[in-house]
Amino acid sequence: MASEERVKASHILIKHEGSRRKASWKDPDGRVISTTSRDEAAAQLTDLREKIVSGQAQFDEIASRYSDCSSAKRGGDLGRFGRGQMQKPFEEAAFGLEVGEISGIVDTDSGVHIIKRTA
């Protein structure tokens, strides 16, 4: 089916000491990232997810402020992508969501994410 071939999604990425790249737009030298454990990153992301799900905050606003990905400048929007374009755990999570649904914590080599499927 065509709808399963490509999805559109946004995400929030929190990098940690195990991330493959320790720099981000908000931590260019990777100082904070290098001292953040995976569990600390996941806990922060869980708190942010709860604020979004409870209606206290908007996904794009949280992404713009907290995400370590350069997509933060677009509210976390990654645009459309097909299978084989993202890391496998990310791809599986994004394709497994319904439009408007927000994932739980997704681990990749880049860090921990929450993903919102937008189309």
Q: Which residue numbers are catalytic?
A: 11, 69, 87, 110, 113
Query: In terms of DSSP bridges, do strands 77-82 and 6-14 run parallel, antiparallel, or are they unpaired?
Result: antiparallel
Cα-based torsion angle of the residue sequence 13, 18, 19, 23 in order, rounded to the nearest 10 degrees:
100
By the 8 A CB rule, do 82 and 100 touch? no
